[in-house]
Every structure is written in structure tokens, then in C-alpha cells.
Amino acid sequence: MPVITLPDGKQKQFDSPVSVAEIAASIGPGLAKAALAGRVDGKLVDTSFSVEHDATVSIVTEKDQDGLEILRHSTAHLLANAVQELFPDAQVTIGPVIEDGFFYDFAYRRPFSTEDLAAIEQRMAEISAKDLPVHRRVLPRDEAIAHFKNIGEHYKAEIIGAIPAGESISLYGQGSWEDLCRGPHVPSTGKLKAFKLMKVAGAYWRGDSRNEMLQRIYGTAWATEKQLKEYLKRLEEAEKRDHRRIGRELDLFHLQEEAPGAVFWHPKGWALFQSLVGYIRQRQGEAGYQEINTPQIMDRELWIQSGHIEKFGENMFMTKTPDERTFAIKPMNCPGHVQVFKQGLRSYRELPLRLAEFGKVHRYEPSGALHGLMRVRAFTQDDAHIFCTMEQVTAESVAVTQLILSIYRDFGFDDVRIKFSDRPAKRVGSDEIWDKAERALQDACAAAAIETELNPGEGAFYGPKLEFVLRDAIGRDWQCGTLQVDLNLPERLGASYIAEDSQRHIPVMLHRAMLGSLERFIGILIEHHAGKLPLWLAPVQAVVMGITERQDEYCAEVTENLKNQGLRVETDLRNEKVGFKIREHTIKRVPYLLVAGDREVEARTLAVRTRSGKDLGAVELNELAALLTEEVAGRGRIILEDRLSQRRSA
């Protein structure tokens, strides 16, 4: 007679073992219809799962993140079912859930075509419409291996072969089709209605280039057709905002095969890059940071001592000198900052010591993972390390958090989530040290009155961290800034200070990045603003152009005047019609177009147009310079257009 405790604390008693589906039905017919799975004493299970003892039970529906993941994984199985009905010789391998969807890898004699995808999606819809019950059965490991070998599924047999002997293996299926899977799955195929196949690509078996090439079909699945349409619309908008295309159009940067994952910055892109550096340099200078610079290459022994070789070595670039000495190209700035801290005898009176660096780092990323500015091998971090006492951790963490959030607002990001990432499986340091570090970071969050989401197991190998996640203009999330509490690295590298008791103590080391990778952040900015960067960031803030060559001298004078006031201004004196020039610079997303004709020369004014096509009328040169300068200082506030529009309205 199990007693079931529901999420609201209410209890239900049943006369005999009861399934999750029956528990949902006892609560109400609406919940019974919506149930996709259950969570019994914290474990996700199918709705057919029988609860035989007292337990805490919640019903999982499409409104839950778990429910969405189950829908997607079940849709991956629906895809595999459809493929094998249409292409009986195809073997299935693995089909996991990924962000916003799923994929499934198939072994087949030829690549799947676009026409194949359309046919597969149609067959998926047909299987869904049959509303076939999803069934589960369990086989002993060796029997499962024999079963899959008998039906020609050698990849599945290999997967099961890696599972320890004696384990039981679960299979899920619908109708006569079934597949190896841990589950859980939706109760029936009729629950799977809002899906779309996106693309097909090659993928090596087990991700190893020495293995055979498989066909990977990507898809997306959602709880409702409305959500699916909204997602596809976001993808369409993301394509328009692709930073790689906009980067070419605006002549900002390029990448090429001779330097995979490294950026060639063009003059305009480098101006944008330096704008970010200058801004961060100013903000962190005001916050008490001292800027340093550390070597690009350091002896491998230092990285062994720090723990990076053991925990991060496969992502590091190494080089040998003619005398066989091995050096590592730094993937992180932390060990170098500890070396600066260690120079001389440090006193507690010097703490907190805040050291910042725009450090260039290199990390190996597989070629297939590289993606424009978003995923590179060589990038620049706005990195800083704060050496402090344990008593100072809370105040420093609060100050860092407030600084990061303030900076994001200046860039136009108001929707920011913060994740708390605790200890990973692969880490250095004792559990006692990790307990202390995690508690210190949690106390700081409480003191700053910030809400966090738990991101279990995703801390750095040397300490827990906060991750700052930005939501952009089209609803995508980007993890950028981090704050990490480290009680391990200073000790490993021999850092210490003399405390008030005249004894040596090991400092706490706070790792802090606000933008993270400057290259990636520029890519995010470009896509967030669709290339229409606010005036203070725009590589070219205004273009001065004349209607005829009679205005050339005046245009050159205006350009020189504005440049002398720190503005990034260009002159367009080409022998082209002014309408052509306006269209061209509008496409290049220049914020303000300043036009001079004979009348403007005589009155020493300029006709001002915006990149959105608004004609703001004529403005006297000195006033224009003052308004532009004020708008640059306002970091994103529209000042020039608002002031001139108000004047015209009056």
C-alpha cells in the first residue's frame, strides 16, 4: 500500500503498486493526458514505471525542461525508426539530445540527400500519427549483444560490449522497431508532433578520425508547433545576423586555413577591438585593478606544477627548443599572474591585490568545432586575478559581480542569468578545500543578493565559479563572464603573504573575466546588434560626403575637425551621386551620414542622416561635434538623433 507524496506535500495512498500514469490520472484527467514521464524519489522514469513502495513522485510534462529533453530523445528514436523503414540496410549508432534538438548517426552506403531528409521527415509524421505505444524490455548484457548481432546492428553490439558483464540492458521501441536505450521515453509516438529535420553531415564513429565515416542527421523538436515555428524564425534571424557574413560586409576581419582558429583583424575590426580594450581598461582601472603583461610561452614544468598539464594538457600547444627544452604556449593567464604576485615579500596590507591582463591565449579546438569568432584557437581574455584573504572574498566577489553587470548594461545586455558551477569530477585539491571555496562563493552570492542557478559539476578544475549568461536580441544565451574562487593554485605554485600574525599564509585567488574571449564577445555584439553597433563602438562613426567636388575642401575640414575630437570619421569624395554613396554607407551600417552641399558650406552646417534612413536636417558643425562626442560618452544612449528629432518636432 504505497503512500505517494506529491510536490505540493499532499499524499495519496494506493491499495497496490501503482504506475506513474495511474498516479497522474488520480490527480486529474488533464495531467494524465499531459504526462510524458515521472520523477520517483528524484529519478526520471517512464509513465509505465510501477511504484511499489512509499515515494515522492512528480509528473513530468512538456512544460518541464526534463519533459522537453524526453520529447527530443524520443524524437531521435522516431527518426531512427523512419530511417530504417525507408533504408533497411542502414545501421543505427547513437542519437543524443543536444541544445535545441537532437542528432542520430547512421552507417549507410551513401550520404543522405536533401530529398532523403524530406522523405524521412514525412515517414516520421506517419509513425507519429499512428500513436504507437512505446514499449520497454530488459535483456541480459550477453543476450542483448547476440540480439543486435543477429539483426545486423554491429555498432549497437559494440556499444553494449563496452558495458560491464552482468549488467542488464534496456531496449525501447514502438511497433516492431526497437533500439538500445536507457530511457525514459514518451508513452506513445503520438506525443511527438512538433519536429523538423535540419541537415545532414559526416561524423566519425566514436568521434575518431581513424574510424569509419557515418551520416549524422540533425533535427529539432519542441512541445508545440508554435514553439517550433518560433525557433525556426529565430534561426532565420540568426542567419541574417551571422557575424561572419557581416564581418565580411563591414571589412572587419577574416580567417584562413593557414592559421586555423586565429583571426586576421582588418583596420576597422581592430578599431572595434581596441574600443573594447580601452573601455575595459578604463572600467577596471577605476575599480582598482593594475594592468600587467606575462609571457606567451613558459616552461612545461610550471604547467605541471599548476596542474594544467594533467587536467588540460590535451588542449595545450607545446613547442621544443633546439636544446630539447619543452615550453607550453599559455592556454590561461593564471600561473603567470601568480609569478608576478610572488615577486618580493607580500604583506596583508597589500591585499586585495587586483592584477589584470589582456592576455593572448591558445587552446586546441578540433577543426570541426571552429566557428568564426565564436570558437577559435587563439583569443584574448580580459583576464584578472584578485589575491586576497578569506575575509575579503565576499566583498571582492560582490564588487566583481556588480562591475560585470554594469558593463553588460553598457553593451546593451539587460537580461543576464548567473549560474553557480560546483566541483567537477576532474579536479585538483581536497574535498575540504572545495567545501570551503564553494561556501565562500555562496556567501558572496547571498551578500550580493543575486539569484543563481545550479550548474552541477561544471566548475573549473581548481575551483567553483559563477558563470554570467547573456540573452541576446533574438533570445539566444551566451556564457561570457566568470568568477572563480581558487584555494588550490596559489598553494601549488608557492604563493604566500605575511599576515598580521607575522606568519606566512596562502592567499585566496579569485579568477575574473568579464567579456571572456574578446574575439567571441565581438562576434556576439555583431549578432546582437545585427551589425548596427552603437556609436561608441562603431568602427566608423560617421562619413562626411559632398554633393559635388565644390564641397571637397569643406568636407576635408569637417572630417579633420571631428577626428581631432576623438571621433572615427571618414570622408567620401568619390565622383559618385550622393544617393549612391548614402546607400553604400547605409549598407555598411555607418551610424551617421553627414552631407554637405553649397548651402551647408555657406552656413557651415551639415545635413545629418541616420543609417535607418531618417533625415535629421541641418546642424551647425560645432553643435554636431558636441552631440556626437556626448553620444559616444553615453555608451549606447541615442543623443544626437533624439535631440534633433525633438527640435524638429518643436
Lowest-pLDDT choice from 297-301, 305-309, 539-543: 305-309
Please give the pLDDT value at position 300: 94
- pLDDT above 70 covers a percentage of the chain that reads 100
Residue 478 bridge partners (DSSP): 470
Contact 316, 302 (CB under 8 A): no
State the Cα–Cα distance between residues 356 and 334, nearest whole angstrom: 10
Compute the average pLDDT of residues 577-606.
95
Q: Name the grid cell of 403.
A: 562591475
Nearest by Cα to 511 from 470, 482, 545: 482
Q: Name the grid cell of 484.
A: 572563480
Lowest-pLDDT choice from 77-86, 124-133, 220-229, 437-446: 437-446
In the structure, what pLDDT confidence band is assigned to residue 18 with cuts at 50, 70 and 90?
A: very high
User: Can 511 be counted among the known catalytic residues?
Assistant: yes
In the structure, what pLDDT confidence band is assigned to residue 611 with cuts at 50, 70 and 90?
A: very high
Q: How far is CA 489 from CA 304, 338, 626, in A?
A: 12, 8, 50
**Is residue 30 over pLDDT 70?**
yes
State the Cα–Cα distance between residues 105 and 206, nearest whole angstrom: 10
Residue of 73, 147, 300, 465 with catalytic role:
465
User: Can 383 be counted among the known catalytic residues?
Assistant: yes
Phi/psi at 331 (nearest 5 deg)?
A: -95, -15
Lowest-pLDDT choice from 131-135, 299-303, 438-442: 438-442
User: Can 465 be counted among the known catalytic residues?
Assistant: yes
Please give the pLDDT value at position 342: 96
Q: In terms of DSSP H, where are the helices of 28-97?
A: 29-34, 65-86
Please give the pLDDT value at position 650: 63
Q: How far is CA 613 from CA 107, 279, 528, 541, 590, in A?
A: 53, 29, 21, 16, 11
Please give the pLDDT value at position 434: 86
Residue of 243, 244, 385, 611 with catalytic role:
385
Residue 544 bridge partners (DSSP): 571, 594
Please give the pLDDT value at position 307: 87
Residue of 72, 77, 492, 511 with catalytic role:
511
User: Can 611 be counted among the known catalytic residues?
Assistant: no
Please give the pLDDT value at position 227: 95
**Is residue 646 over pLDDT 90?**
no
Domains of the chain: 3-61 (3.10.20.30), 66-238 (3.30.980.10), 280-528 (3.30.930.10), 542-649 (3.40.50.800)
Q: Name the grid cell of 102.
A: 537532437
Residue of 91, 215, 284, 381 with catalytic role:
381
State the Cα–Cα distance between residues 308 and 335, nearest whole angstrom: 9
Please give the pLDDT value at position 546: 94
Lowest-pLDDT choice from 29-43, 204-218, 319-333: 204-218
Mean pLDDT value across the chain? 92
Count the Cβ atoms, other than its own, within 10 Å of residue 171.
18
Q: Identity (one letter) of the amino acid at 125?
A: A
User: Can 363 be counted among the known catalytic residues?
Assistant: yes
State the Cα–Cα distance between residues 117 and 106, nearest whole angstrom: 13
466-523 pLDDT, tens digit per residue, is 999 999 998 889 999 999 888 889 999 999 999 999 999 999 999 999 999 999 999 9
Compute the average pLDDT of residues 346-371.
93
Residue with grid cell 578520425, as numbered in its chain: 209
313-328 pLDDT, tens digit per residue, is 889 999 999 988 999 9
Residue of 105, 382, 383, 486 with catalytic role:
383
State the Cα–Cα distance between residues 114 and 104, nearest whole angstrom: 16
Please give the pLDDT value at position 644: 83
Q: Name the grid cell of 429.
A: 585539491
Residue of 123, 174, 334, 445 with catalytic role:
334
User: Can 385 be counted among the known catalytic residues?
Assistant: yes
**Is residue 578 over pLDDT 90?**
yes
User: Can 381 be counted among the known catalytic residues?
Assistant: yes
CA atoms within 13 A on the CB side of 165: 0
State the Cα–Cα distance between residues 552 and 559, nearest whole angstrom: 11
Residue of 77, 123, 363, 423 with catalytic role:
363
38-68 pLDDT, tens digit per residue, is 999 999 999 999 999 999 999 999 999 999 9
State the Cα–Cα distance between residues 171 and 112, nearest whole angstrom: 26
The DSSP line for 298-322 is EEHHHHHHHTHHHHHGGG-EEEE-T
Query: What is the 8-class DSSP label of residue 347?
Result: B
Residue with grid cell 581548481, as numbered in its chain: 462
In the structure, what pLDDT confidence band is assigned to residue 639 with cuts at 50, 70 and 90?
A: confident
Largest Cα span, the chain? 97
